[in-house]
Amino acid sequence: MIQHEDKRSTDLPRLAASFWFGVIYIENYNGFMNDLFWCISYLKKYNKIENDLPPTEETLRVLMNITMPRDLGEDFYLAQDRVLTSIRERREIVDVDDLTPFEPHLYLYKGDITCLKVDAIVNACNERLLGCFIPLHHCIDNAIHSFAGLQVRRDLMKVMEAQGYDEPNGKAKITKGYNLPSSYILHTVGPQVGGRVTPQDEEDLSNCYLSCLRLADSHELKSVAFCSISTGIYGYPIEKAAKVALNAVRKYMETENKNIEKVVFNVFSENDYEVYLRSIKEAY
Ligand code: ADP
């Protein structure tokens, strides 16, 4: 006679595992929603907003964007960090160590810079250096501050207060990356191009790359990812900007570099990717 295994007994461990997995999932989800709700309430109060807002990640980003720089206290940063960590864990993070160089030390990568795991990413800022205050704006400054956390704005406020004047074009400042996959952020102001690119624009843009590399090198960082500085709202034509970027980085790596092993040119659109590919080919 064929012996039939008792299905109920073999399914039991699996059922128990699914049950506990479900419990942990619900607890994590509840924890996340509690933190999200708490951060939203805190920032609403801070910004004196009285109307109801939906308890969503987008609402939190809007409130973060409009919040003036100030120390918001440890409780806020801890709750915000738990929310942003959970958001980061759901995103597809790309490690610079998994990329293939197009020539020794140099990499081209198309994607969101806030998903790159690298020692430092470069942010294209305005002269106030405090991040973008326009809710959900599509600039890179907004994205970087929103995924990193409000500590970046607080830290930059201290840096700018100590400096006492707006950040000139072509210089760079460093902050921690906080909730980003990257450890640091290099903040630089590129030239705003109105019409024709002037020799001064070209020099300023080149200096952005050089200043960021010098700063990264002095902090003994090994990998840096540049966005395509000034080529968005600041209107620098991408073809010209790509050449300036490639020349500046190559020059630095050949003449000054001490610690940097990997430099990534991070582009965001297919068109910019094609332009970079052409510029790289033309250089040979
Ligand atoms: P700028 O004012 O210096 O022109 P922008 O933010 O408008 O700065 O754009 C700079 C570059 O960053 C543009 O090429 C834009 O496509 C790119 N960019 C915008 N968001 C991201 C992002 N999340 N990741 C990588 N690149 C981005």
Mean pLDDT of the chain: 93
Can you tell me the distance from the alpha carbon of 122 to that of 209, in angstroms, rounded to the nearest whole number? 9
- What's the mean pLDDT in 155-181? 98
Backbone angles phi, psi at 275, to 5 degrees: -60, -45
The confidence score (pLDDT) of residue 25 equals 63
- What's the mean pLDDT in 14-29? 66
- What's the mean pLDDT in 168-192? 98
Residue 1 pLDDT greater than 60, yes or no:
no
Can you tell me the distance from the alpha carbon of 217 to that of 154, in angstroms, rounded to the nearest whole number? 24
In the structure, what pLDDT confidence band is assigned to residue 11 with cuts at 50, 70 and 90? Answer: confident
Protein residue closest via CA to atom 15 of ligand 1: 232
pLDDT in tens, 231-245: 999 999 999 999 999
Q: How far is ligand 1, taken at its centre, from the CA of residue 209, in Å?
A: 15
Protein residue closest via CA to atom 5 of ligand 1: 232
Tell me which fold the domain 94-283 belongs to. Answer: Leucine Aminopeptidase, subunit E; domain 1 (3.40.220)
Residues in contact with ligand 1 (CB, 6 Å cut-off): 112-114, 124, 139-141, 143, 190, 227-234, 266, 268-269, 272
Which H/E stretch holds residue 95? strand 94-95
pLDDT in tens, 64-110: 999 999 899 999 999 999 999 999 999 999 999 999 999 999 999 99
Which H/E stretch holds residue 173? strand 172-176
Cα separation of the two ends of the chain: 78
Burial 148-181 (b: 16+ CB within 10 A, else e): bbbbbbbbbbeebeeeeeebebbbbbbbbbbbbb
Residue 151 pLDDT greater than 60, yes or no:
yes
- What's the mean pLDDT in 194-213? 96
Chain center to CA of 87: 13
Amino acid at 266: N
Can you tell me the distance from the alpha carbon of 267 to that of 270, in angstroms, rounded to the nearest whole number? 8
**Range(s) of the chain covered by CATH 3.40.220.10:** 94-283
DSSP class of 284: -
Residue 16 pLDDT greater than 70, yes or no:
no
The closest-lying atom of ligand 1 relative to the alpha carbon of residue 124 is 3
Using a pLDDT cut of 90, give the percent of the chain over it: 86
Lowest mean pLDDT among 14-23, 162-171, 195-204, 274-283: 14-23
The confidence score (pLDDT) of residue 152 equals 98
Residue 9 pLDDT greater than 70, yes or no:
no
| Share of the chain residues as helix, strand and coil, in percent rounded to the nearest 5 | 50, 15, 35
Q: How far is ligand 1, taken at its centre, from the CA of residue 274, in Å?
A: 16
pLDDT in tens, 97-146: 999 999 999 999 999 999 999 999 999 999 999 999 999 999 999 999 99
Tokens of 59: 């609402």
